[in-house]
């Protein structure tokens, strides 16, 4: 079931939903000896796009902390479709898919050099208070900034 959701991720983002896109060129240090991007780097690309998305909603890390909250990744998935290689031009898109009960952010990594989707995935973000107490749902103060 989860696998199907990841495969169709680009279709789950309705028009008008917030998204952020970043462009990058694959650096040498992200690659293995075969010049292929190491699989764990994709989660770093997800994080860069997620940070841009949250910052665009006035939810950069200092702003979340000022509200008295912290956010933690409670689940992360990645489906690899086509490898990225050293020097490839890449577009990483992060989009909100759901805000309740947790924030669900979908990702698409597009290899512009090869005109192919390299990966799709998602993360679930849970919210805690400053002391680490977990909230069952995304707090209203955060949801207000997502509107």
Confidence (pLDDT) at 147: 83
Percent of the chain at pLDDT exceeding 90: 86
Residue 6 host element (H or E): helix 2-7
Lowest mean pLDDT among 14-28, 46-60, 81-95: 14-28
Assess whether pLDDT exceeds 60 at residue 15: no
pLDDT in tens, 103-124: 999 999 999 999 999 999 999 9
Q: What distance in Å separates the CA atoms of residue 95 and residue 10, rounded to the nearest whole number?
A: 9
- Length in residues, the chain: 147
pTM (2 d.p.)? 0.86
Q: What distance in Å separates the CA atoms of residue 101 and residue 34, rounded to the nearest whole number?
A: 42
Q: Where are the domains of the chain?
A: 2-146
Sign of CA dihedral 137, 140, 144, 145: negative
pLDDT band, residue 3 (cuts 50/70/90): very low
pLDDT in tens, 68-80: 999 999 999 999 9
Q: What is the CATH number of domain 2-146?
A: 3.10.129.10
CB 99 within 8 A of CB 106: no
Residue-by-residue DSSP string for 111-130: ETTTTEEEEEEEEEEEEEET
């Amino acid at each position: 079931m989860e696998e199907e959701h990841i495969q169709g991720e680009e279709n789950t983002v309705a028009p008008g939903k917030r998204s952020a896109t970043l462009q990058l060129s694959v650096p040498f240090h992200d690659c293995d000896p075969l010049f292929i991007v190491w699989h764990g780097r994709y989660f770093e690309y997800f994080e860069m796009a997620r940070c841009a998305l949250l910052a665009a909603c006035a939810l950069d890390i200092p702003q979340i902390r000022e509200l008295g909250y912290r956010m933690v990744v409670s689940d992360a998935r990645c489906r690899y479709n086509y490898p990225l290689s050293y020097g490839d031009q890449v577009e990483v898109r992060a989009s909100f898919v759901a805000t309740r009960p947790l924030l669900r952010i979908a990702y698409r990594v597009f290899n512009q050099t090869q005109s192919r989707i390299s990966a799709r995935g998602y993360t679930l973000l849970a919210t805690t208070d400053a002391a680490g107490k977990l909230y069952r749902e995304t707090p209203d103060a955060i949801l207000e900034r997502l509107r």
